[in-house]
Structure 1
Amino acid sequence: MKRREMTAIDLFCGAGGLSEGLRQAGFDVRAGSDFNEAAGATFERTHRDAKFLGGPIQDLAVDDFLRAARLRVGELDVLTGGPPCQAYSVYNHKRGMGDARSTLFREYLRIVEGLMPRWVVMENVTGITSAGSGEALRAIVEGFTNLGYRIEWRVLRAEEYGVPQERRRFVFMGNRTGEPIVWPEPTHGPGLKPLITVYDAISDLPILHNGEASVGHDYTSEPRTEYQTELREGSTGVFNHAAPRLANINMQRMKHIPQGGSWRDVPVDLLPRGMQAARRCDHTKRYGRLQWDRQSSTILTKCDIHWGAYIHPEQNRSLTVREAARFQSFPDWFVFEGSQTDQFVQVGNAVPPILGRQLGLALQSGSERVRKAA
């Protein structure tokens, strides 16, 4: 007997990285919601079988989601979501429960209570464990428990699942049905498949100069790795591949930085004034150049070379949106809408689709065990 597709709704979906991963795992993604208009345009373009609900989640009723997903209360298999993480991020020096975004998880719980899905999956940055002295973590667990869900949580390392990037995500997973909670087993690392590298991810993309955009969207070489072959499948070309234009002073700085190097390799007189007296142990990845044989550093909502390792391994320029998307494991046909700034935000906020796929397969595994035992 053919297995029924599990249904999913994605709250705070952004461009839809987690949704795309679930779809790759065989899920029927029925709807997504987000406040960001550019992300919504991307979601609608790339998830044509799903209904997008825009605007503040506070303005959306449970019935809006039920109508969009064509389901009744209790029928949804999985409700996923990642409430905005900036309030918990270690990169936000004012992080904590005082940030208005930090309580948006209560909106997630409101929708859970109304929909009563079988499964819930919530992801966030690892800083959620310490923000507000752990208040957010305790409130989330208590909220799920009060609704009848058994919850587990783990920190997942994206690179251990085939994502070419050092990225940590805090994931809650649970259900109200008593099904076993199965976590995805790592596929890459010591004793497993080799970690996917920067070379594996972007070495086939067209060469660009500072401020230059790829013309015609044509691939200029054949795929050089299995990873590139997978991400190019179904795409008609290279999109969102344009190098942000950097000032001349940054071009001078980059000439001194080798692969794996950083601001420490830049002559002091070329450094920003505020960094000229910095201790050598400070600003570890500022003006960092990526290495072909390593993983990318964490992709943030802007790949600004002043704040991290976002210089191309060989070309004297910063990363493009497409390169950031490759490091996040988005397929090449996945085109991002909005301004270049909007696009970087969408990519940086996303759950890597490959990680989402592994989570989806784990969810199916837990349900499959119950069906076989019945």
Structure 2
Amino acid sequence: MSFFSGALGLDLGLEEAGLEAVSYNEIEKVFCKTIKTNKPETHLYECDIRELNAKMLLKDHGLKKGELFAIVGGPPCQAFSTAGKRKSLQDERGNVFLHFIDIIEGMRPKYAIIENVRGLLSAAMKHRPHNERGEGYPALTVEESPGGALAHIIAKLEKAGYKASFTLYNSANFGVPQVRERVVILASREGKEIPFVAKTHSDKDDNLPPWKTTKDAIWDLRNRKTLEHTKFPEKRLKYYRLLTSGQNWRSLPVELQKEAMGKSFYSGGGKTGFLRRLDWNKPSPTLVTSPTMPATDLCHPDKDRPLSVEEYARIQTFPDTYKFEGKTLDKYKQLGNAVPCGLGKAIGEHLIKFDEGKLEKYNTDGKLSRYLNTDHKSWYQNLRKEHTDLTLFQ
């Protein structure tokens, strides 16, 4: 059973692995149109998740508590996203997350799969204004500290009898031609910890196939005449005409760098997303909800245009036959918010093998992204350095 289903990226991957969705849940109208176009035979709850509850869902599907194999979902990430103003679990969208956990508790599926953005690892349960921190104020509580939200979520799952493991997964490690990182929580009702998913591809020489590249994904589309895409403004295009595959604003002559970047030229930070052409020979950077936002430009490797909707879909490993409804910007949004189907498939295959007692390959250290201390073991160790008493969440 899927919640916050979006464009079904995670669900399509799980279904390809062998699982079957009994229903989807989505609130955004255009996303719902996409679901109904591609999966007309599967029931869709077209509403806010807070209009649903475990008792209702069990009755609708003729299920008893505990009969469902898995509940999956990625609650809205805006409250935890590092791309926008950081909020807390007390935010309205954060409460939607907690209602999702309540449904898991009420339906008691054998497993739960919960995905979210990297920002969840450092999101607070409660937000204390910055002008009320520091000298003269009490130290931050666990709830107010970075990581407080995730600690609360895991505690709720464990109180309900689930054993939860999590880490940050880089989709490129699973055959997706994109560096895209998502936190994935795997929870088991039977109290046995689910190991981390073993990567299938690597950027290192460790007897695995190399990461898939942008070229692998979209080379055959480069001369198609009917691609759907937006446009860059002319003031940006004049610089893109001087750049080749893999280059960005730093590849311009210094005077043009200053002209192109304006005041940003003198500010700190990497700014690698400005005036960025994708590199044919590397995975794509993370696809966002629009390819033309200045700080996260996604320009085709050698065409003077943004990536097209079709190229977005390829890089997110959607089937070519999948149809996205809505206007062009709606399609970018659906794809930019999606979990790559390839990552979903890897998770699904892993969970099925675990359930059947046939899991032979799995990761033991949780190091499946560019970042350190993102798996539940090292993450909790870091949290305990700041807060030795975590009984609040037990």
Normalising by structure 1, we get a TM-score of 0.83
Q: Any conservation in 2 of the 1:288–1:305 contact (CA below 8 Å)?
A: no
Deviation at 1:268, TM superposition (A): 4.0
What are the residue-to-residue correspondences of 1:259-298 with 2, within 5 Å? 259-266=245-252, 267-268=256-257, 270-271=259-260, 273-275=262-264, 277-279=265-267, 281-298=269-286
Task: Name 2:148's counterpart in structure 1.
Answer: 135
Mapped to 2, the partners of 1:258 and 1:370 lie a distance apart of 47
Task: Name 1:242's counterpart in structure 2.
Answer: 228
Residue of structure 1 aligned with 2:17, choices 22, 25, 36: 25
Task: Name 1:5's counterpart in structure 2.
Answer: none
Deviation at 1:65, TM superposition (A): 2.9
Mapped to 1, the partners of 2:13 and 2:270 lie a distance apart of 36
Task: Name 1:221's counterpart in structure 2.
Answer: none
SS in 1 for 2:93: helix
Q: Any conservation in 1 of the 2:79–2:91 contact (CA below 8 Å)?
A: yes
Task: Name 2:106's counterpart in structure 1.
Answer: 114
Q: 1:251 to 1:129 in 2, by over 3 A?
A: same
Mapped to 1, the partners of 2:61 and 2:333 lie a distance apart of 27
Task: Name 1:253's counterpart in structure 2.
Answer: 239
Deviation at 1:269, TM superposition (A): 6.3
Mapped to 1, the partners of 2:221 and 2:325 lie a distance apart of 20
What are the residue-to-residue correspondences of 1:309-348 with 2, within 5 Å? 309-348=297-336
Task: Name 1:88's counterpart in structure 2.
Answer: 80
Residue of structure 2 aligned with 1:207, choices 220, 223, 233: 223
Specify every segment of 5 or more residues in structure 1 that has no aligned partner in the other structure, as ranges. 1-8, 209-213, 216-240
Bigger Cα displacement from structure 2, 87-96 vs 191-200: 87-96
Deviations along 1:165-201, one digit per CA (max 9) or x if unpaired, are 0011111111112455143211101320111000000
Deviations along 1:263-321, one digit per CA (max 9) or x if unpaired, are 2234146525443x434754122111111100100011122251224010010111111
Task: Name 2:349's counterpart in structure 1.
Answer: 361
Mapped to 1, the partners of 2:123 and 2:191 lie a distance apart of 30
Deviation at 1:111, TM superposition (A): 1.0
Mapped to 2, the partners of 1:168 and 1:245 lie a distance apart of 27
Q: 1:278 to 1:186 in 2, by over 3 A?
A: same
Bigger Cα displacement from structure 2, 247-256 vs 315-324: 247-256
Task: Name 1:146's counterpart in structure 2.
Answer: 159
1:149 aligned partner, one-letter code: Y
2:321 aligned partner, one-letter code: W
Mapped to 2, the partners of 1:351 and 1:90 lie a distance apart of 17
Mapped to 1, the partners of 2:147 and 2:280 lie a distance apart of 38
2:199 aligned partner, one-letter code: P
Q: How many residues align?
A: 332
Mapped to 2, the partners of 1:137 and 1:145 lie a distance apart of 12
Deviation at 1:98, TM superposition (A): 5.1
Bigger Cα displacement from structure 2, 195-204 vs 261-270: 261-270
Task: Name 1:157's counterpart in structure 2.
Answer: 170
Task: Name 1:230's counterpart in structure 2.
Answer: none
Residue of structure 2 aligned with 1:174, choices 183, 187, 193: 187
Deviations along 1:334-365, one digit per CA (max 9) or x if unpaired, are 11111112111111111111110111111111
2:313 aligned partner, one-letter code: A
Q: Any conservation in 1 of the 2:105–2:157 contact (CA below 8 Å)?
A: no
Mapped to 2, the partners of 1:349 and 1:177 lie a distance apart of 32
State, as a whole percentage, how many aligned pairs show the same letter. 30
Q: 1:179 to 1:96 in 2, by over 3 A?
A: closer
Q: 1:66 to 1:370 in 2, by over 3 A?
A: farther
Deviation at 1:163, TM superposition (A): 0.3
Task: Name 2:377's counterpart in structure 1.
Answer: none
Is the aligned partner of 1:184 residue 2:197? Answer: yes
Mapped to 1, the partners of 2:195 and 2:86 lie a distance apart of 35
Deviations along 1:13-43, one digit per CA (max 9) or x if unpaired, are 1010111011101111111101111111111
SS in 2 for 1:322: helix
Task: Name 2:389's counterpart in structure 1.
Answer: none
Normalising by structure 2, we get a TM-score of 0.79
